[in-house]
Chain A
Amino acid sequence: MGTEHILGLVTGVIFGFLLQKGRVLRFDKQVGALLLKDMTIFKFMLSAIMVGMVGIYALQGMGAISLSHKSANLGGLLLGGALFGAGWAIMGFCPGTSLGAIGEGRWHAVFALLGMLVGAAIFAELYPVMKSTVLAWKDFGRLSLADVLGISPWAVIAAFWVVSIGMLAWFEKKGL
């Protein structure tokens, strides 16, 4: 194991520990959120994003890290996003949380894991076809929302905080 592997493993162990303590790995929590009955995973994700975005842009501003936007490929995001959403609702796990769920004993997540491995293998076979069809439709490139709006990333971050706090306050008021 080199530095790359040790670093990945340590980061993953902490990530898995926090996901489990937050109780967001469970099928019931994930499907509960999609049924709009239990907003635990929204609270967890929004908090992570709100804190993360400040540090990421601060470090990037100091030149300590670089951003790595994924390409905004419209066909891939719309079709892929829809397929992911549909599969997620039935599977009740995300790719990362499925491993965590197995870790906390919910061994039925193994079936989800196997399905995902097969899905990945199928995608590898379909890739040439996808590249010349769905993925060839429209690609906006590696952009941030701040680039699109032509404003400072800090203005977007401030707006994100305001909207998120409003949403979270509403969840708390509704007891979700």
Chain B
Amino acid sequence: MRLVTSDGGWNPYLGGALVGLLAIASAYATTKWLGKTAYLGASTTFVRAAGLAEKTIAAEHVSANEYFTKEKVRVDWQFMLVIGIFLGALAASLLDRSFKLEAVPPLWEQYFGPSIAKRAVAAFLGGAVAMLGARLADGCTSGNGLSGLMQLSLSGFVALAMFFGVGVATAKLVYRRAE
């Protein structure tokens, strides 16, 4: 088995195993330095970011909202983690020259053509629906999937089964024009 794939990336088993080690180190480090074990996650940050954005135009509305109050609208550990994902991916892609400005994903284009507007509308609506779901399920592929399964959480197993089950069914329905 090759450690480097044909496109210059790393073997997914290697990359995945390193993320496993990162999750362990991160659980240990957050417990030691922050006093509370934090697990990798991302979707709560979207609530906090939405709250911070809304605050600039309707501060009272945000402070009166039960959900924003519950999740605390502030830049916290996970918020910085999500910003870090952007920076880490930027650095990695510049270093191995896989950085590429792309307006429409190649696979999307095969099915729906090169229209940026079409892709933008679909991505926006898909994103809104997915985030509603992630908040209802109290976590996304990171929080419920990766971190939940590492802890053997019942919620993680149920969530991931639903994510993939409905994801596979939806993909089968949506991506079939070109075939």
| Majority DSSP secondary structure for residues of A touching B | helix
Please tell me the number of chain A residues within 8 Å of chain B, measured between CB atoms.
Answer: 128
Query: Are B77 and A22 closer than 8 Å at their CB atoms?
Result: no
| Residues in chain A near residue B137, CB distance under 8 A | 76-77, 80-81, 84
**In the complex, chain A residues whose CB is within 8 Å of the CB of B68:** 124
Contacts of B122 in A (CB 8 A): 90-91
| Chain B contacts with A in 128-164, Cβ cutoff 8 A | 128-146, 148-159, 161-164
- Chain A residues, Cβ within 8 Å of B120: 108, 111
Number of A-B contacts (CB under 8 A): 515
A147 CB, nearest partner CB in chain B, Å: 8
Are A77 and B155 in contact (CB-based, < 8 A)?
A: yes
Cβ of B123 and Cβ of A88 under 8 Å apart? no
A87's closest neighbor in chain B, by CB?
B130
Q: Which of A16, A31, A59, A118 contacts B128 (CB 8 A)?
A: A118
Name the contact of A22 in the complex, choosing from B12, B27, B169 (C-beta under 8 A). Answer: B12
- A115 and B124 contacting across the interface, CB-CB below 8 Å: yes
A34 and B84 contact, CB distance less than 8 A: no
- The answer to the question of A167 belonging to the interface, with a C-beta cut-off of 8 Å to chain B, is no
Interface residues of B (CB under 8 A from A): 5, 7, 9-10, 12-24, 26-31, 33-34, 36-37, 39-43, 45-47, 49-51, 53-54, 65-68, 70, 75-93, 96, 98-108, 116, 119-146, 148-159, 161-172, 174-175
A22-B12, A67-B151, A111-B121 are known; give 9 further A-B pairs, CB within 8 A. A31-B171, A53-B152, A70-B139, A72-B154, A83-B130, A85-B133, A93-B127, A98-B127, A106-B102
